[in-house]
Chain A
């Protein structure tokens, strides 16, 4: 049921040290404001799940929130590396980071399996490649009907899923549209969920045909955070700050510059 409380209270109540947390949003609607609040509250030893870690997990990893990362593509899209992720993997800074690495198909299937209440996801993939050699969670199963060998990975069942959406109504139902990614699956796969929204409306009114509605009873908390997806974007509200994604490269490359930027832009109380 929607609560419309404060972001700091929602994070304090929902995210605990050691939790497995998925902050999702595929380029679009990345829940930056919520992630920054996790950094400010100094959550530690988190297992972070996300298909594309993006700048948000680069910041959370560099800030020391993460013990483990489960992911499928760890770059700055169209720009280059995620330097904080690389520094953690290559040099254990600020602490060692365990990685569990998949392909996008596996991650998407693992969320869908979690949302479906299944223990694992089965799909056709990973044939002849090296990821199964380095990730023991990639196994094979044999189809009992055809004998085909298929890939199998554990379902994602995060303790908490956090997403950003365009709107909630007064009852706490949530609407998101545009590129909808895996957010519906992430919320339905999780034990608890937090949705930050651009605004609360009396009625959703006319919606686009692919609009996703998450009924209030599958969402633990809704918090109003206008601009909560910046520098990613919210379709219909603001566009992606591509120049910030480009400028992040130089900020994140240097540990000192990164810490200075975080101090000025994230660690100060919002």
Chain B
């Protein structure tokens, strides 16, 4: 089956989740990936959204983090202060799944401003839950479309700490959690080197060249010595994702018609 780069990205990201993970899900690309995981190889994965919905099993993807679908299909729903205090800060979540507007080579994220904070060129939405999700979840996966404007050598603003501006700050601060351990894009998969924490390309998606990755990365990107190739999406993975997207389009269309 043929597939798009976005489908490859979503499916590659989905594969990182395990059945025994308890995952704090960001809206958009992370939400699609997490639900594909739940509908394929990880049916028992626990998905948590910051609106307070715990162990939710949405039949369609939410447009917003607090859609009714998430509450109706959840094991339970708690208040937002409880979610951030007992569940996230309390250390009960194994994986945070995040997107972002900009990322650097150490997995730090900017979703606040392009340009200066006081006189921004572009004002982005801001931190939301990401800052503490990235600090308190056991480990963090990032999924983002890759281009040289989003994958930058220096962030204008650190909204969310990955491994720190030089790769050493997270460890120096004494955070007990692993931070970003995986970055999945529409071109490839990055993982941090164990010592430097610099994200290096560990696998190219099928048909993607190193040159394409270089052209779409704003820092001098490095490749792992044993560079792998991401297995192409299986028919089952693709069908699951496409059915989910079709159900979502129908549901949001129907909700709109009411």
Contacts and interface: CB of A to CB of B under 8 A. Distances in A.
B66 A27 contact: yes
B128 A72 contact: yes
Contact of B132 (A103, A239, A245): A103
A137 interface: no
Contact of A240 (B28, B63, B88, B158): B63
B78 to A, nearest CB: 7
Interface in A68-112: 71-75, 77-79, 81-82, 85-86, 89-90, 101-105, 108-109, 111-112
A240 B84 CA distance: 24
A235 B71 contact: yes
A240 B85 contact: no
Interface stretch (B9-17, B38-46, B118-126): B118-126
A81 B125 contact: yes
Nearest to B169: A128
Given A108-B80, A134-B117, A179-B71, A77 B65 contact: yes
Given A77-B65, A240-B64, A27 B51 contact: yes
Given A27-B65, A28-B68, A124-B136, A240 B255 contact: yes
Contact of A125 (B28, B131, B252, B258): B131
A238 interface: yes
B105 interface: no
A181 to B, nearest CB: 5
Interface string B27-71: 110000000000000000000001111000000001111111011
A180 interface: yes
Contact of B66 (A85, A134, A181): A181
B89 interface: yes
Interface in B119-176: 120, 122-132, 135-136, 157-161, 164, 169-170, 173, 175
Contacts of A75: 124-126
Interface in A169-189: 178-182, 184-185
Contacts of A108: 80-81, 83-85
A123 B86 CA distance: 11
Interface string B230-255: 00000000000000000000001101
A73 B125 contact: yes
B52 A105 contact: no
Contacts of A128: 158, 161, 164, 169-170, 173
B80 A182 contact: yes
Contacts, number: 184
Nearest to B155: A130
B77 interface: yes
- The range of chain A's interface size is 35 or more
B68 A239 contact: yes
Most B C-beta atoms less than 10 A away, residue of A85, A103, A245: A103
B258 A239 contact: yes
A101 B53 CA distance: 25
Nearest to B134: A129
Nearest to A134: B117
Contacts of A78: 27-28, 62-64
B77 to A, nearest CB: 5
A85 B64 contact: no
Contacts of A109: 81, 84-85
B4 interface: no
A104 B132 contact: yes
B211 interface: no
Given A130-B159, A181-B66, A89 B71 contact: no
B70 A179 contact: yes
Contacts of B88: 105
B81 A129 contact: no
Which 3 residue pairs across A and B have the least CB separation, nearest first? A27-B66, A243-B256, A75-B125
22 contacts: A26-B51, A28-B51, A28-B71, A51-B80, A71-B126, A73-B129, A75-B124, A90-B120, A103-B127, A108-B84, A109-B84, A112-B85, A128-B161, A128-B164, A129-B159, A131-B112, A178-B68, A179-B51, A239-B68, A240-B63, A241-B256, A244-B256
